[in-house]
A and B are shown apart, each in its own frame.
Chain A
Amino acid sequence: MKKISVAVTGLNAIDSPGPGISVIRAIRQSNLFDVRIIGLAYESLEPGIYMHDLVDKTYQVPLPSAGMEVLLSRLSYINSVDKIDVIIPNFDAELFNYIKLADILKQQLQISTFLPTLQQFEARHKVNLYEYGEEHGIKVPKSKAIFNSQEIVRLHSEFTYPLVVKGKFYDAVIAYSADQATGAFNKIAAKWGLPIIIQQFVQGQEVNVTALGDGKGNLIGAVPMRKQYITDKGKAWSGISIDDEELINITRRLMASSKWKGGLELEIVKTDEEEYYLLEINPRFPAWVYLAVGCGQNHPEALVRMALGEDIKPFNTYDVGKLFIRYAYDMIVDLKEFEKISTLGEL
């Protein structure tokens, strides 16, 4: 088996989990690689730091807001004491920096990544999603970015209530009247700034797809899932893999047309009339990506192989009717460990 070391972020396996631990479990299951896992953590209480059977060593890294230069210098340091072959970033907020640094990481530090291009990353942004759907032939509920709550009264010519009022980065509220929409506008704008995105509400069942593209237009793998139980934060607590050819087709079309490179998650609504509307594209693996492994498609392993330059044959089948059920688990940790990561930034 080939020895490699993979650095992974998103070790926050908490109630609204980051994907890191799922990604690590997937890679650890590989029969091709003998993997050393390097955790990259932002806070000293991310559970993954203390899961020594999954994570060999963890280093604290600067928050994305500190900028590329600071991140690069920290990664250079880590790489100099603990060689990294591949980095898999798992947070939306850090992707911008990693995408911009990808070439430098490769050339200066010989660290591979497998990330979308900056254009691919920006184009699927919530604010642009409607145009994105048009470009790639996928239905997206009509949406519009607005900058002023007074624009809400004029929306009735283009939209029908209910509609969804969304923040630029997070938050979404369903509004049944202009008054409610105005209230939601003010609340969300205060928190996330402008613009606010108004989206036509589509009634139906939400389904999700976790997928991997090779950057040349090929779909390497895709597993659709329906959430069975949702936490109060809207996260899936349990979900089941489903047999839906159309979802796979949509994902394949999207990959072919966008040439997406890397992992992604599609959030889609399927209406009673069997129409599919794309609600959101998350530009990385979801926290439930381990379900794909359980269904016979190890996406994180495939991503590592592509990052290392291997050609991959696409997965063609997956098991339908597999469930994932998340559980909480209390680890017992010695204060010494917390002290180390807090003061030295390494554990």
Chain B
Amino acid sequence: MKKVQYERPVIQRLNVGLMNKYGSRTEFTPVTQIDGNAVAQLITQYGSPLFVISERTIRQTYRQANRAFKTRYPKVQFAWSYKTNYINAVCNVFHQEGSWAEVVSGFEYSKAIYNGVPGNKIIFNGPDKSAEELKLAIENNSLIHIDNLDELYTINDLASTLTKRPRVAIRVNMDTGVYPMWDRFGFNYENGEALDAINKIVLNNNMDLVGLHCHIGTFMLTPSAYAIAATKLSELAISIQKKHKKSIEYIDMGGGFASHNTLKGSYLQGIDASPGFDQYAEAICTSLLNAGFSEGELPLLILETGRALIDEAGYLLGSVISNKRLSDGRRATIMDFGVNILFTSFWYNHKISPAQPFSQYTEDTVIYGPLCMNIDVVRENIAFPALKKNDQVVVHTVGAYNMTQWMQFIAMRPAVVLIDMNDKPHLIRKRENINSVQNEEVMPDYLKDCLL
């Protein structure tokens, strides 16, 4: 006789909390494969945990975003936000789709050059740019977005020693009615700082002011804030035209579009609450079109959205290390991934699906990572089915920031696999080994022997 599939016994008090099982039934449909590749097979081949990126989802999402803007505005250019995910293979998928590169450090700048991005298609953002890096960017005709007055003066000094004229934009911060206001980056609009910086650039006449840039926040759930920002940047551009008879070539609206993740503390699911590309595009494009630019003077619209383009394409596969019972009776499940590689679990309640069939019976569970630290919590409270040791799970919507902010703490970082348009997996970053970390260490001679 064939034996019945086993599931550990669970018992729950009724009516203790608000959650009912009809609320979680379909959240837990098992996810056994990603783009035609069995989860179990991927883990066998590349190890657990494992990041998996769907090239198909990237390209589909990018095309969706591109369409949303291009059907509403004549000149649109995306620039891939390297900090969101700078694994070279990922960057090149975006570049192949037509994205320029948007970088915020000398390191990211080098990566863009390495990937073959032409210098004039690299946008150099951020507060930390050394004189050396700026010089390289000037010589490469890159677009330099000035963050502060010290940087402005450095570029001005460099320009007098170089033959190329720097192509610059200034980053503008402003009140768009959202909180917190990101006023630490760039020059303020309301108090006239931005206009002041523009006057300095134009009057010194050592560089070309080609654009205006803003980046109003992160995970912005209100598209109307972008409408306000676009209007303010347009006003600034038009006043420059009036005062200095100079047309601004582009307006860069930065990024900050929300993905489908659910922010901690949010009552609604992210997938329901987050605006779509069409809503952001409508807010931005309508403002630009109504700003009063004359027909031929409409600036190019640049977008640096990162998260909304890559988050859904990323999955983290992992395995159960152990189950425990906490002193208050709650179930605890320990996974082989934690905040070390899933940094975003500090901000989101990530959706986690078991990768094998299970019943509808759940327990209130805390999901922990493998670190020996109390902060290593992936989900504080989730109605989760009874998984056993070595069962596998799929964490959804992890494509943004995890593969750049991950930590090498007490363990090696996992491999990253890209599944191509034909469902074929490619290793795009190897699992780290002890040498990946120790290669950079230097041992003084007298400490070579541990003397034990």
Contact = CB atoms under 8 A, between A and B. Distances in A.
Interface of A: 42-45, 60-70, 73-74, 93, 96-97, 100, 147, 193-195, 342, 345
8 contacts: A43-B18, A65-B268, A66-B27, A70-B24, A70-B27, A147-B179, A345-B20, A345-B22
A65 B15 contact: no
A304 B418 CA distance: 52
A100 B179 contact: no
Given A65-B267, A65-B269, A195-B179, A70 B18 contact: no
Max chain A CB contacts within 10 Å: which of B21, B26, B27?
B26
B23 interface: yes
Nearest to A73: B26
Contacts of A45: 15
A70 B268 CA distance: 12
B179 A62 contact: no
B25 interface: yes
A67 B19 contact: no
A63 B18 contact: yes
A335 to B, nearest CB: 12
B273 to A, nearest CB: 8
B272 A342 contact: no
Contacts of B25: 62, 70, 73-74
Contact of A74 (B15, B19, B22, B179): B22
Interface in B1-58: 14-15, 18-27
Nearest to B29: A73
Nearest to B349: A65
Given A100-B272, A194-B179, A63 B19 contact: yes
Contacts of B265: 193
Nearest to A70: B26
Nearest to B270: A67
Contact of A44 (B14, B269, B272): B14
B26 A69 contact: yes
- Interface of B (DSSP majority class): loop
B22 A67 contact: no
A67 B268 contact: yes
A96 B269 CA distance: 11
Nearest to B383: A66
A66 B24 contact: yes
B23 A63 contact: yes
A64 B27 contact: no
A87 to B, nearest CB: 16
A147 B179 CA distance: 7
Given A62-B22, A147-B180, 8 more contacts: A43-B20, A60-B22, A62-B20, A63-B18, A70-B25, A74-B26, A96-B273, A342-B15
A194 B271 CA distance: 22
Contacts of B269: 65-69
Contacts of A61: 22
Interface of B: 14-15, 18-27, 179-180, 265, 267-269, 271-273
Max chain B CB contacts within 10 Å: which of A45, A70, A100, A345?
A70
A43 B20 CA distance: 7
A290 B99 CA distance: 59
Nearest to A59: B22
A132 to B, nearest CB: 14
Contact of B20 (A63, A73, A96, A193): A63
User: What 4 pairs across the A-B complex have the smallest Cβ distances?
Assistant: A67-B269, A62-B23, A66-B23, A147-B179
A43 B18 CA distance: 7
A329 to B, nearest CB: 21
Nearest to A343: B14
Given A63-B23, A66-B23, A44 B268 contact: no
Given A43-B15, A44-B15, A195-B179, A67 B20 contact: no
B267 A64 contact: yes
Contact of A70 (B23, B179, B180, B273): B23
A45 B21 CA distance: 15
Contacts of A73: 25-26
Contacts of A74: 22, 25-26
A143 to B, nearest CB: 15
Contacts of A345: 20-22
Contacts of B179: 147, 194-195
Contact of B272 (A63, A68, A193, A194): A68
Contacts of A93: 267
Nearest to B23: A62
A195 B179 CA distance: 9
B14 A342 contact: yes
Nearest to A63: B23
A190 B207 CA distance: 50
Nearest to B27: A70
Contacts of A63: 18-20, 23
A64 B268 contact: yes
A131 to B, nearest CB: 11
Contact of A42 (B18, B26, B27, B268): B18
Contacts of A44: 14-15, 20
A48 to B, nearest CB: 16
Contacts of A43: 15, 18, 20
A331 to B, nearest CB: 17
B385 to A, nearest CB: 15
Nearest to B181: A147
B22 A68 contact: no
Nearest to B267: A65
Contacts of A195: 179
A277 B125 CA distance: 49
B25 to A, nearest CB: 7
B180 to A, nearest CB: 8
A29 B25 CA distance: 36
Given A66-B24, A70-B25, A342-B14, A96 B272 contact: yes
